[in-house]
Amino acid sequence: MRREDVPPLLFQVTDDLPEPDLADVAWAGGLRVRRRRRRTVLISVVLVLVALLVTSILIEMGQSDGGGKADALPLDHQPTGYIAPAGQIAGIDYWLAPPAGSERFLDRLDTVLGDRLALPDKVNRLADHKLDKVVAVVLVKNGDGYQPLLLGGDASWSQADVSLLPVGGASPLSPGAISPDGRTVAFPQPGQLVTVNASTAKVDDYSLPGGDFRSVSWLQDAQRVLVSAPGVAYRVVVGEGRNGEQPVVRINGAKDPEAITAPYRIDSGAVTRYLDTGRWTEDSMLPLPVQSWVGQTFSSVGTVARLFVAGKLPQVPAMVSQPQGVAAISTYRSVPSRLLMLDDPLTGSGDVRDPGCCAVLGWYDEQNLLLQVRGWVLAWDLDSGNVRRVTELAVGELALGPGLSG
Amino acid sequence: MRDTVDPDFASFVDARQGRWLRTAYLVYGDLERAERALLRAFTQLSLHWVRVDDPDAFVQRLLYLPALKPWNRAKAFPDEDDQVKHALGELTPAQRAVFVLLHVEELTEFEVADLLGMSQTAVHGHGLSAFGLFRTALGAGDWRDAK
C-alpha cells in the first residue's frame, strides 16, 4: 500500500454520512450562550450590590446599636499599662493618685535627680564649673539669706556666687525659675529680679519699681521673665529685646502672684493665653468646682496644668483634708483634658495631703507631668494614667528645668 | 449579535460543515460525538464571529483538540466490521488525528503541529507509526516496504 492509496480508503468510509445543516443551529446556540452569559453577569452584579448593601446596613446597625463601639476603637492604641479613669468631674475624666504613703512603692522614672534628692556633699563654684543646662535648683540657707545650688545634666552641683533674700518670709525660689533653654535661673527679690546665667556664671539684677515679688515665670523665648507680686507684675527683658522695647514693662497683676504665668495660665474658671501686650485672652472656659488654685501653671505642647483645691466633691470624698487635684487641660479640642485627684477616700492613716502640700513642678516631656507631693516628686503619665515616683525629696523648695528628660 | 443568522457565517458553515463532519467522524470514530464537537465549534465561532481573524484555524482547533484530551478518549469505531474503520480504531487518538489530518485534510506536518499544539517531530512520528499500523491492519505488509 502506498500513501496515495490512503485518502480513497478514508473517503470511502465516510461516503454514507448524512449532510449536516448546522448554520442555524450553531447561531441559535451562540445566541443562547450569549444570553446565558449576560444573565449570569447581571445576576452577579445584583448579588454583589445586595451584598454591599447588606454589609453597609449591618455596619450602620452595629454602630448605632453599639453606641460606644466607635469610641472603643482607640482602646487598640492605648499605651502599655493603661489605667481606666475612675470617673468624671465636670465632664472631665479623672484618675486617682496612689494613696499617700505608697509613693516609695511606685515604679520609678529614672532621672539625674537620683532616688533621693538631698543637698550634695561636694559642690563646685559655678565660676569654676559652668553648666550648659540646669536640671534643678535648690536653695541653701546661709544666715539670713539663701544661696542657689544648680544641678547640671552631668549630676554635678554648682553654687552660684549670689546671696538671695527671703521674700514674704519664704525662700525666693519659684517653681518656674529655670528658663526654657535651661541656661538661666531667675529669682524674685524684694524690689528686683536676679538672674544667674549658668553657662557664664554671670549674675544680673534688674531693679523693679517696688513690690514684694514672689514669683517668676519665663516666656517661651527665654529672653523675658514675668515677675509678680500681689496685685502687680512686670515683664522684664533679661536677654535680647526688640528694638525700642522697654526693659521693664508693667503688666496686669493678680492677687495671687503665682497666677502670673506664660504662655498660659489657669485661674478664675478659665484658661487664658498670654499676649505680647501684657494681657491674657481667654482660651477656654473651665467648669471645675475649684475653691483655690495652688502653685504655678506649666504649659506643654497642647496641655496646661495646675493644681487646685476643691470644695466638696461627691466623686472624691475627703476623710480629713479637702479634695485637691491636678488639672491637665488640653488646649486642643480633639484631645481630652484630664484630672489627677490626690486625695484617696480610703486613706485613713496619718499621711494626709493637706491643701498646699503639693504643686505642679513642670513637664518631664510632652506627656509626663511632674508634681511635688509632700516629700516626693511624682510623674503622672497623661496617656496611660500611671503615676511613677521620680525622687524622694530631702530638700526644701525645688525648681525643675527642661534638662531633666535628657 | 443579531437574532437571525449572519449570512457570512451561514456561507462559511455551509461551505465547510460536510468536509469537517467527515474528518471529525474519522478522528472521533463516532458520528454522534463528531456532530456534537462540530456543533460546539461552530457555536463558539458564532459568539466570536466578527472578531476572529482565522475562522478555519479557530474551528479546527476546537474540533480536534478535545479528541486528544485524556478524559475524552472513548473507543473509536467500536464493533465495526469494516476493515478500514477497524484499522483506524486500532490507532491512538493522537495517531488517528494526525493520520486523518495529513491524508484527508492534506495539511503539512507543520500545519498539523500548529493546529494540535505538538512539535513537528511528534507529528512526524505519529504519522509514521499510524501509517505503519494502518497498513499492517489492512494486511498490506510492513510499512517499510511502502513507497
CATH number of B58's domain:
1.20.140.160
> Using 50, 70 and 90 to split pLDDT, how confident is the model at A296?
very high
A68 and A146 part of one domain: no
Which DSSP letter does residue A386 get?
-
The answer to which of A266-270, B11-15, B133-137 has the lowest mean pLDDT is A266-270
Domain boundary, last residue among A45, A77, A109: A77
The shortest CB-CB distance from B47 to any of A19, A20, A33 is to A33
Query: ipTM score of the complex?
Result: 0.87
Give the whole-number percent of chain A exceeding pLDDT 90.
36
Q: Are residues A389 and A296 part of one domain?
A: yes
| CA neighbor of A403 nearest in space, from A375, A362, A372 | A362
Q: Which of A19, A27, A33 to mutate to test the interface with B (most CBs of B within 10 A)?
A: A27
Query: Which residues of chain B approach chain A closer than 8 Å at the C-beta?
Result: 1, 3-6, 9-10, 13-14, 17-18, 21-22, 25-26, 31, 35, 38-39, 42-47, 49, 82, 84-85, 88, 100, 103-104, 106, 131, 134-135, 138, 140-141, 146-147
* Amino acid A36: pLDDT: 94
Residues A69 and A190 in one domain: no
On whether both A172 and A58 belong to a single domain, the answer is: no
Instruction: Answer whether residue B78 is part of any domain.
Output: yes
Asked whether residue A171 is domain-assigned, the answer is yes
**Strand stretches in A14-173, DSSP E:** 87-89, 92-96, 116-117, 124-125, 134-142, 145-152, 157-159
pLDDT reported for residue A72? 46
* Domain membership of residue B41 as a residue range: 7-145
Residue A350 has pLDDT above 90, yes or no: no
Residues with Cβ within 8 Å of residue B144, at least 6 apart in sequence: B132
Q: Based on the domain organization, do A107 and A32 belong to the same domain?
A: no
pLDDT at residue B120 is higher than 60: yes
Proportion of chain A above pLDDT 70, given as a percent: 92
A372 membership: H or E segment, kind and range: strand A368-373
In a domain, A18, yes or no: no
One domain for residues A151 and A257: yes
In-domain check, residue A13: no
Confidence grade of residue A32 (pLDDT, cut at 50, 70, 90): very high
The Cα–Cα gap between A198 and A106 comes to 33
Is pLDDT at B145 greater than 60 in this prediction? no
Residue bearing cell 531633666: A404
Residue A376 corresponds to which cell in the numbers above? 516626693
Which chain A residues touch B42 with a CB distance below 8 Å? 22-23, 26
Q: For an interface test with B, which of A1, A17, A24 has the most B Cβ atoms less than 10 Å from its Cβ?
A: A1
Asked if residue A225 is part of any domain, the answer here is yes
- Whether the per-residue pLDDT at A363 is higher than 70: the answer is yes
Q: Do B84 and A12 touch (CB under 8 A)?
A: yes
Could you say which of B22, B39, B135 has the minimum Cβ distance to residue A25?
Answer: B39
Comparing A4 with B55, which gets the higher pLDDT? B55
Higher pLDDT, B80 or A225: A225
Gap between the Cα atoms of A217 and A258, Å rounded: 9
User: CA–CA separation, A350 vs A365, rounded Å?
Assistant: 33
**A8 assigned to some structural domain:** no
Q: Is the pLDDT of residue A385 over 80?
A: yes
Q: Do A23 and B21 touch (CB under 8 A)?
A: no
- pLDDT of B143 > 80? The answer is no
Tell me the CATH number at A286: 2.120.10
Domain shared by A32 and A106, yes or no? no
Q: Are A61 and A109 members of one domain? A: no
Within a domain: residue B2?
no
Chain A residues with CB inside 8 Å of B47's CB?
Answer: 30, 33-34
Of A68-72, A292-296, B70-74, the range with the lowest mean pLDDT is A68-72
Q: Which residues of A touch B (CB under 8 A)?
A: 1-3, 6-7, 9-14, 17, 19-31, 33-34
Average confidence (pLDDT) over B113-137: 94
A49/A122 same-domain check: no
Domain ranges, residue A280:
87-405
Could you give the number of structural domains in chain A?
A: 2
Could A23 and B135 be called an inter-chain contact, meaning their C-beta atoms sit closer than 8 Å? no
Give the one of B35, B39, B146 whose C-beta lies nearest to A29's C-beta.
B39
Q: Does position A349 have pLDDT exceeding 60, yes or no?
A: no
Residue A309 pLDDT greater than 90, yes or no: no
pLDDT digits (tens, 9 = 90+) for A126-183: 989 999 889 999 998 888 889 999 999 888 999 998 999 888 888 899 999 999 999 9
Contacts of the segment A56-59: beta carbons below 8 A, 24+ positions apart: none
- Residue of chain A nearest B25, judged by CA positions: A14
Together in a domain, A208 and A292: yes
For every residue of A206-265, DSSP letters joined together read EEEEEEE--EEEE-TTSSEEEEEEBTEEEEEE-SPPPTT--SEEEE--BSSGGG--SSEE
Per the domain annotation, does B1 fall within a domain? no
pTM given for the model: 0.60
- How many domains does the structure of chain B reveal? 1
Residues A100, A49 share a domain: no
Q: pLDDT tens-digit profile of A57-103?
A: 999 887 665 444 444 445 556 777 888 888 888 889 999 888 888 88
User: Model confidence at B48, in pLDDT bands (50, 70, 90)?
Assistant: very high
Residue B127 lies in a domain: yes
Q: Is there a single domain that holds both residue A65 and residue A137?
A: no
* Binary contact (B22, A24; C-beta < 8 A): no
Question: Which tops the pLDDT comparison, B13 or A269?
Answer: B13
Which pLDDT score, from 0 to 100, does residue B146 have?
Answer: 53
- For residue B117, tell me if it sits in a domain: yes
Q: pLDDT at position B141, please?
A: 63
